[in-house]
Structure 1
């Protein structure tokens, strides 16, 4: 599973699943464009990649609107000339009872979780089409496919991204672009542990065959598989990486 010669842009790559994915793709030969808001963390991820023998650049980005997305694409093209693999990982987890969600939080969640991938794909896919190759992997969530109290905003935003995955697979697949998504279950990232606690994440998986939360590296391996040529005949799939929760 080699990515030698490929350029990969990973959003939300300064921590968690994004960081693990950036490091894995770099380890397997990709030149990785590490994107995120935290410059200190971003430079640390790049330093780690370079220390391990890989190549990477940090591109700071907030992805608050279409203009910011287009600016990130311009920086990516300036840094590497092209993007062969786009990993739409950056996200906000907005949770709470529906009547209690402020409009500003709703808008921020949809802006990052739906609008940003939409405009990044819109800016990058045409060049992929002209080259006749490219891969897009969207990171969604298991709760996009079933109801859970308190996650209406987050889950619905990721359900929208699941459907965009299928629409883009249909739109760009005939031109050599593969578009798929990974739907993780609870994962032991810093953010998730801060919000739910490690015990809370484990409790979420009581009904799942795995009976435990994932590590970021396990999700990164799934993302890397879909980005690789080994998944060459997979288009428009929403691949659960949820310890079997979707089966229960």
Structure 2
């Protein structure tokens, strides 16, 4: 690694597994002091232990970002204190994915998904950005999804939350860019950990057949994009959604 984030601080939500974990590990490998955040303390401790064992800086903060303003503000304040008073990079990654169809979605599920996927990052960003601006600037990276732009028969609720986050990315870029805070998003395709040798293929692999990539991506693919967006190399990038989806949304998919 090249130390592109040396001396930076970062808060990555939902980073005890999968994409969030890969982003936290990549940020730490590039020199950032990272806050790993999530509900599961045991998994979080394992992540920071691995980062520290590799020579990186990381701390774990337990947080249940349920959509309440208080929960988001509390995490922002604890992260600032742990990081020495400053958050340079915020990654809004935490999310939930119940995928019932529209007619069977109850109100509690609707409120939960919007609470975690939209309200929590909304209020967390609101809590983090003012201090970022006061300290000279910062970076916010949101997580979108390829199904925000390609309809699928199930998952209307989830995909609409990711559409909201991509819209907020553009709106926040306009609102916060003049304050020195860059806001962009990464839109993953079907992302899965590597399949163990001899393991059964994941159903998600079907959705990537016929794409230019020809298969699913791994969490590291998203982490590489997040590192670039967080670094000075992307200093002129504002309000952009970067598709890391193997060509799923940008190219006609030809069924095999």
Query: What is the distance in 2 between the residues matched to 1:198 and 1:60?
Result: 33
Q: Aligned match of 1:183 in 175, 187, 195?
A: 187
TM-score, scaled relative to structure 1: 0.95
Change in 2 beyond 3 A, CA 1:207/1:106: farther
In structure 1, the residue matched to 2:216 is 213
Higher helix share: 1
2:202 aligns to what SS in structure 1? helix
Q: Which residue of 1 aligns with 2:94?
A: 90
Paired residue for 2:23? 21
Secondary structure of the residue aligned to 1:246 is coil
Alpha-carbon shift at residue 189 of structure 1 (Å)? 4.2
CA 1:198–1:75 in 2, change beyond 3 Å: closer, same or farther?
farther
Quick one: distance in 1 between partners of 2:158 and 2:211?
Answer: 21
How many pairs are equivalent?
243
Superimposed CA distance per residue, residues 134-175 of structure 1 (whole angstroms, 9 cap, x where no aligned partner): 000001100011211101000000000000000000001112
Q: Which residue of 1 aligns with 2:241?
A: 238
Match of 1:33 among 32, 35, 51: 35
Matches of 1:198 and 1:87 in 2, distance apart? 30
How far did residue 177 of structure 1 move?
Answer: 0.8
- Counterpart Cα distance in 2 of 1:20 and 1:171: 29
Structure-to-structure mapping, 1:112-151, within 5 angstroms: 112-151=116-155
Match of 2:8 in 1: 6
Q: How does 1:63-82 map to 2 (within 5 A)?
A: 63-64=65-66, 65-80=68-83, 81-82=85-86
Q: Aligned partners of 2:149, 2:177: CA distance in 1, in Å? A: 24
- Provide the rounded CA distance (Å) in 1 between the counterparts of 2:190 and 2:157: 17
SS in 1 for 2:184: strand
- Given the alignment of the two structures, is residue 160 of structure 1 paired with residue 158 of structure 2, yes or no? no
Deviation at 1:200, TM superposition (A): 1.2
* Structure 2: stretches of 5+ with no match in the other structure: 195-199
User: Partners in 1 of 2:145 and 2:19 — Cα distance?
Assistant: 12
Q: How far did 1:131 drift?
A: 2.0
Aligned 8 A contact 1:17 1:189 in 2:
no
Distance in 2 (CA, whole Å) between partners of 1:58 and 1:183 is 25
Cα pair 1:36 1:59 within 8 Å, conserved: yes
- Per the alignment, in what secondary structure is the counterpart of residue 8 of structure 1? strand
Partner SS state of residue 249, structure 2: helix
Residues 89-108 of structure 1 aligned to structure 2 (within 5 Å): 89-108=93-112
Superposition pairs of residues 215-230 of structure 1, within 5 angstroms = 215-230=218-233
Supply the distance in 2 between the matched residues of 1:132 and 1:207 (Cα, whole angstroms): 45
Q: Report deviation, 1:132.
A: 2.5
Query: Which of structure 1's runs of 4+ aligned residues deviate more than 3 A?
Result: none
- Give the superposition deviation at 1:62: 0.5
SS at match of 1:245: coil
